[in-house]
Structure 1
């Protein structure tokens, strides 16, 4: 183990950075929960006519394609990094490019979901809505880890992470995929009924 001297100033900046990241995660989690709650509440109050409903369905699916497509791409490249087929710098760059698509698509789905006339008394709809909330919070919980990964050398591998970081990354990937697929499958099942 090598000793790398670190100044007090560097340590202080790191602590400030960690605190600002925690504050960001709390603020974004609260915002995501409020946006989700607002979407669900408004969807119970708004009863869209056929034209508005059909337009909302088309837009909802387009936003889904954008967000979930970006998630699949990021998770696939992340998996390739896990097995040593991609550099960390590629993953971070792709994640940075995909992040606006993911969050923009998710925001669009929450907005259009208001006009889908969901059956809120259906337990499957409740599961879908819970999955959407969990996947949103899960994405936010990745922020601290992604910031730590950004400080690693570009050639860092999955094995270079601590056991906690590896677990965090893999669990977030599994939770993300499980929630997205749950929401998508239930959404299509509900659309058929």
Structure 2
């Protein structure tokens, strides 16, 4: 009977999980969290000063998240016209990825307390756009991982499609939010 070496007893157990499963889990969490978040925001009735703070936070997170998205897309457009290298796009995306996710998460959290009128079609369109932004962001993260390794035509086309969906969803949510505020 053999016994493991004493040092083997103290080694941490490591489990390797494919990165795509983390993204799939986050996508499922986003979709499943939507009804709960809608219930929370429909029941939130806060003091006016809290609403003002939440509105300021909402705008600040918009600048952070959407601004970071625009910086990546700006470098991508420069690449498309031959003024930048693909590695510049990938590097920029890597540098601002955290800002995008912090901005997005902050927008969702601050939006919960802004007492959106869930019965309005415009609000429903905005909330749908916000969900699309999050799910598309997970796809963009997956594509970024692939572009760090290889830039096949298929991944590049998917990246362009992902950027188009991103722009459409961010602008839709921004414009509808502006219209709803007035």
User: Could you say which structure has the greater relative contact order, defined with CA pairs below 8 angstroms and 6 or more residues apart?
Assistant: 1
Q: Shorter-chain TM-score: what band? A: 0.7 to 0.9
Q: Which whole-Å CA distance do the structure 2 matches of 1:146 and 1:179 have between them?
A: 19
SS in 2 for 1:40: helix
Asked if the contact 2:147/2:155 (under 8 Å) is kept, the reply is no
Q: Tell me whether 1:165 sits opposite 2:155 in the alignment.
A: yes
Which residue of the other structure, out of 63, 70, 73, is the alignment partner of 2:71? 73
Q: Deviations over 1:86-142 (max 9, x none)?
A: 122222221111111110011111111111011100000000000000011011012
Instruction: Quote the residue 1:45 is aligned against.
Output: 43
Match of 1:176 in 2: 166
Do residues 190 (structure 1) and 150 (structure 2) align? no
1:134-171 Cα deviation digits (max 9, x unpaired): 0110110122321121013xxxxxxx632x22321111
Give unmatched runs, 5+ long, in structure 2: 1-15
- Number of paired residues? 167
Moved more, 176-185 or 83-92: 83-92
Q: Distance in 1 between matches of 2:98 and 2:142?
A: 17
Distance between the aligned counterparts of 1:83 and 1:56, measured in 2?
Answer: 40
Considering only aligned residues, what root-mean-square deviation do their CA atoms show, in Å?
A: 1.8
Equivalences for residues 22-33 of structure 1 within 5 A:
22-33=20-31
Give the distance between the partners of 1:39 and 1:116, measured in 2 at CA: 12
Residues 140-149 or 180-189, more deviating? 140-149
2:115 alignment partner, SS class? coil
From the superposition, tell whether residues 67 and 107 of structure 1 become closer, same or farther in structure 2 (CA, over 3 Å).
same
The gaps in structure 1 that reach 5 residues or longer are 1-16, 153-159
Q: TM-score, normalised by structure 1?
A: 0.80
Matches within 5 A, 1:41-190: 41-152=39-150, 161-162=152-153, 164-190=154-180
What is the TM-score when the length of structure 2 is the normalising length? Answer: 0.85
Structure with higher Rg: it is 2
